[in-house]
């Protein structure tokens, strides 16, 4: 089967196991190499991506764009939105709700350890002044973690609490990277605040 | 003479005679099934015809993927959930997990049952599917496959396997190939494909093959009863051929669903 250039928008629909090409192509997303063949692993449209200019490997990449990929799964390096569920002295537990702007179908448990809250003064981090239960945080997945939770990190300027409520129930507005102020009462509360974009 | 005959028939019993007649009739039918080369099946099919099939994706909206299949009187619905978080009791795993559960409804069999889970079928379904699913693509998470038999009309497990494969593809789980499955029954010298419940009750043996047609790999082979070597080879080849044809139907169904989604 000779590989021909196809439109980026709509190639033919392929199903798992179908032949996409031979070893003159690289297997991209939704495809896998099987000996000297490249086969599809999901249902979707076949797409051919030209090699980037100047690369040593001049083979095109064939990939399958699934019309219905399975629900988002946290991967190391992805940015997630999570809701803090429990705060302890050395860590905070959070439910991951979004992965890279895609909602998860069922929650995954994440954990923010004390040493991953911020990049500076790691030994002086007070968990209770960084997060509260119910806060919405943006975090980076460090690793798959252990059997119970993914390890998350907010040790960057853009990561941290993005939405929170005060003790009295009002919305908290960020005023610095460590403080938020209540809209209703003006009370200032300590949080690890994400940088507003 | 007639008095002597009456005397010798003194031990005559109507039940015994009826039983004897029934045994003779049964023996004659078995001989007929085993030796005759061309008898019509009860539903009019020839030896190598499958039952009419209907398959559809997406009947369960709450699931990540689902599929419904009918083969003659057998009706199966499969739902796939995940990849989702593994239970806390499970240890950490670098690869994903595949859980399979097969259950029958209370009204699935002619005699009303308890609607119990079928542990043996669940294990066999798992064995058939785990060779096809790319477990390394969802580490630390779990994919759950639930199969529910709404009506049992024979050859239940092969239909469950084919339907589960369709549901996994519908869910977007990465798989090496679609898995299709077909079973055959042995009657003496004859091999019939896709047996019904009545035929399964009378068979001398059966073979079930779960097959990945594009890769030409068998993920499961189950043998019961008595088979000679040559007949096994013929039966397996017959199953593989039927699996390839069934896989074409599955691919058509998936492509239709993909086209409709846009």
Are the beta carbons of A32 and B134 separated by less than 8 Å? yes
* pLDDT score recorded for residue B245: 87
Q: What ipTM score was computed for the predicted complex, to two decimals?
A: 0.78
Look up residue A93 and give its DSSP letter.
E
Buried b (16+ CB within 10 A) or exposed e, A79-100: bbbbbbeebeeebbbbbbbbbe
Which of A16, A19, A77, A104 is the best mutation test for B, with the most CBs of B within 10 A?
A16
- B87 touches A: beta carbon within 8 Å: no
CA separation for the pair B5, B114 (Å, rounded):
54
pLDDT band at A177 (very low <50, low <70, confident <90, very high): confident
| Among A17, A18, A70, beta carbon nearest to B83 | A70
pLDDT in tens, B49-71: 888 999 888 888 888 899 999 98
Of A64-68, A151-155, B137-141, where does mean pLDDT reach its minimum? A64-68
The ranges assigned to domains in chain B are 51-261
Residues of B in contact with A144 (CB under 8 A): 92, 139-140
Look at residue A72 and tell me whether its pLDDT is greater than 80. no
Distance of CA A54 to the CA centre of its chain: 30
- Give the angle subtended at the CA of A164 by the CAs of A163 and A170, to the nearest 5°: 120
* pLDDT score recorded for residue A6: 39
Are the beta carbons of A70 and B254 separated by less than 8 Å? no
Q: DSSP letters along B212-229, please?
A: ETTTTEEEEEEEEE---H
* pLDDT score recorded for residue B240: 92
- B138 touches A: beta carbon within 8 Å: yes
Q: Please compute the mean of the pLDDT values over residues A41-60 and round it to a whole number.
A: 82
Q: What is B51-261's CATH topology?
A: Ribosomal Protein S5; domain 2 (3.30.230)
Look at residue A57 and tell me whether its pLDDT is greater than 80. no
Task: Name the average pLDDT for chain A.
Answer: 83
Residues of B in contact with A18 (CB under 8 A): 214, 251
pLDDT band at A161 (very low <50, low <70, confident <90, very high): very high
Mind telling me how many Å the CA of A42 is from chain B's nearest CA?
5
- Are both A13-66 and A78-190 of the same fold? yes
* pLDDT score recorded for residue A73: 80
Q: What are the respective helix, strand and coil percentages of chain A, to the nearest 5?
A: 5, 45, 50
**Per-residue confidence of chain B (262 residues) as pLDDT tens digits?**
444 444 444 555 566 666 666 666 666 666 666 666 666 788 888 888 888 999 888 888 888 899 999 989 899 999 999 788 887 676 677 789 798 989 998 899 888 776 766 778 999 899 899 899 998 888 888 899 999 999 998 889 999 999 999 999 989 888 999 999 999 998 887 888 899 888 888 788 999 999 999 988 899 898 889 888 888 888 998 899 899 989 998 888 888 888 877 5
Q: Which CATH number fits domain A13-66: 3.30.70.1230, 1.10.357.10, 3.40.640.10, 2.40.50.100?
A: 2.40.50.100
CA separation for the pair B198, B212 (Å, rounded):
29
Q: Is the peptide bond before A37 cis (omega within 30 degrees of 0)?
A: no
- Across the beta sheet with A44-49, the strand order is A13-14, A44-49, A60-66, A25-27
The ranges assigned to domains in chain A are 13-66, 78-190
Q: From residue B153, how far is each of A92, A114, B33, B111, B117 by CA, in Å? A: 53, 59, 20, 12, 17
* pLDDT score recorded for residue B150: 92
Nearest to B220 by CA among B164, B179, B160: B179
CA separation for the pair B209, A160 (Å, rounded):
54
Q: What is A78-190's CATH topology?
A: OB fold (Dihydrolipoamide Acetyltransferase, E2P) (2.40.50)
Buried b (16+ CB within 10 A) or exposed e, B8-32: eeeeeeeeeeeeeeeeeeeeeeeee
pLDDT in tens, A121-147: 888 888 988 998 999 998 999 888 877
Residues of B in contact with A16 (CB under 8 A): 169, 174-178
């Amino acid at each position: 089967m000779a590989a021909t250039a196809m439109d980026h928008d709509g190639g033919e629909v392929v199903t798992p196991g179908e032949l996409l090409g031979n070893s003159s192509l690289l297997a991209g997303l939704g495809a896998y190499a099987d000996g000297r063949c490249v086969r599809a692993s999901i249902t979707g449209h076949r797409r051919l991506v030209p090699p980037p200019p100047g690369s040593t490997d001049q083979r095109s990449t064939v990939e399958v764009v699934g019309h219905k990929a399975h629900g988002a799964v946290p991967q190391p390096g992805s940015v997630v939105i999570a809701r803090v569920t429990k705060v302890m002295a050395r860590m905070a537990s959070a439910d991951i709700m979004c992965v890279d702007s895609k909602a998860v179908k069922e929650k995954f448990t994440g954990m923010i350890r004390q040493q991953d809250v911020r990049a500076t003064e790691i030994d002086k981090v007070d968990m209770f002044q960084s997060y509260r239960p119910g806060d919405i945080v943006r975090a980076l997945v460090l690793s798959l973690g252990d059997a119970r939770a993914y390890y998350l990190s907010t040790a960057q300027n853009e990561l941290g609490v993005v939405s929170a409520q005060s003790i009295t129930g009002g919305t908290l507005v960020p005023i610095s990277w460590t403080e938020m102020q209540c809209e209703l009462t003006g009370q200032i509360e300590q949080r690890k605040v994400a940088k507003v974009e | 003479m007639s008095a002597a005959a009456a005397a010798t028939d003194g031990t005559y019993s109507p039940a015994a005679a009826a039983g004897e007649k029934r045994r003779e009739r049964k023996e004659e039918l078995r001989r007929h099934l085993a030796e005759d080369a061309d008898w019509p099946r009860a539903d009019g099919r020839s030896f190598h015809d499958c039952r009419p099939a209907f398959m559809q994706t997406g009947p369960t909206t709450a699931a990540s993927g689902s599929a419904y299949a009918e083969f003659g009187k057998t009706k199966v619905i499969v739902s796939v959930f995940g990849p989702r978080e593994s239970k806390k009791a499970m240890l950490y795993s670098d690869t994903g997990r595949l859980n399979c559960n097969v259950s029958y409804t209370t009204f699935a069999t002619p005699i009303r049952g308890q609607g119990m889970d079928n542990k043996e079928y669940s294990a066999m379904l798992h064995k058939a599917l785990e060779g096809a699913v790319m477990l390394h693509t969802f580490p630390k998470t779990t994919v759950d496959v639930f199969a529910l038999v709404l009506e049992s009309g024979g050859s239940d497990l092969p239909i469950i396997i084919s339907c589960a494969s369709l549901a996994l593809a519908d869910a977007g789980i990465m798989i090496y190939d679609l898995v299709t499955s077909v079973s055959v029954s042995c009657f003496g010298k004859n091999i019939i494909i896709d047996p019904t419940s009545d035929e399964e009750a009378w068979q001398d043996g059966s073979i079930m093959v779960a097959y990945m047609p594009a890769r030409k790999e068998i993920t499961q082979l189950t043998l019961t009863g008595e088979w000679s070597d040559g007949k096994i080879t013929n039966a397996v080849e017959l199953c593989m051929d039927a699996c390839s044809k069934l896989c074409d139907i599955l691919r058509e169904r998936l492509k239709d669903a993909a086209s409709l989604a846009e």
